[in-house]
Amino acid sequence: MLKAFRPPALLAATLLLTGTLAGQAAAQTTAPVTAPATPAPVAPAPMTPAPAVPSPAISSPATPKAPVRLNVPGNAASALGIEVSAVVSGRLLGCPKALKLSAGALCLYAANSASALRPAIKAKLGTRAGEWKLSGKASSLAVTSGKTLSLVLLAEISAKETLVVVDTPASASAPSAAAAGRPATPLGAVKGEPYLLGSDLKGLVNVTSLGAGQFKLERTGQPTLTVTAGKTSALLGGGSVTLPLAPASDGKNLVLPFSALNALGCTSAPNGKVLTVSCGANSVGIKPIVF
């Protein structure tokens, strides 16, 4: 069950208002009524009883207004948000307008680190989830349910606090096999070998076209790799290196064999239907292109 959580400023105001109402109700319902003092006996005259003091009328406290509840939209993000919230033990809060999310997006506050949440969320979602994509202190996970594509986003607030966002953009849909397709077999590509597009490495390796079939691949802390379509010989920093397979190009994009990633100090490992490419601390899941 999602628990309502209010931003600090709204929460503080709510607590202050609640405390005021509670104080007023307590004053009306619990304040003791002081009994009139019994007059001291006067001897020998008979004691005249004190006149009865009418009990003050106790007014019923005003019926408090119904608590404000956050409406959870009945869409794919809502169903996915319930699953994710159960994993992260998150508290529901209003999404920051600056994020420009869809109207059905859900935002959760989790008192845990993003690094601890990522494997737990992926394990919960199973085969519906792709691979986490990391970018600085933010990470994203694509989740497919039927023909609907949703996103789970994590943003680190602090070392032990994370903003969790679940969103299903109105224009998002799971790509069909026909729509996704694959590029035409470029000249020099080896059938049966896994390839990737240079754009697949976004966030891990910066790929720049130099023209005439040449591409420059740059990774922080590593020598620059310059490759040429159709050739296994390449330049690495100030020296040369021979790649296991020659890169290719469709005339615009670099089509790189997975095996060439070793020259950049990156590794790849099978993970279901994708290959997880790791370059240092960052990793991304890439669906290989096999011609």
Residue 234 lies in a domain: yes
Q: Which domain holds residue 125?
A: 76-167
Last residue of a domain, one of 167, 196, 225: 167
Give the least confident one: 8-12, 195-199, 219-223, 250-254: 8-12
Position 147 in a domain: yes
Residue 159 and residue 91 share a domain: yes
Q: How many domains does the chain have?
A: 2
Structural domain includes residue 29: no
Q: In whole angstroms, what is the distance from residue 117 CA to residue 138 CA?
A: 12
Judge if 190 and 138 occupy the same domain: no
Q: What is the mean pLDDT of the chain?
A: 75
- Per residue in 107-118, pLDDT (tens digit) is 889 999 999 999
Residue 48 domain-assigned (yes or no): no
Q: State the residue for tokens 């021979």.
A: 242
**Model-level pTM?**
0.41
Residues 144 and 213 in one domain: no
Which of 255, 257, 241, 263 has its CA nearest to residue 213? 255
In-domain check, residue 43: no
Q: Token digits for 139?
A: 């990470």
Task: Check whether 137 has a pLDDT greater than 80.
Answer: yes
Same domain membership, residue 142 and residue 215: no
Which residue from 110, 28, 88 is spatially nearest to 62, judged by alpha carbons?
28
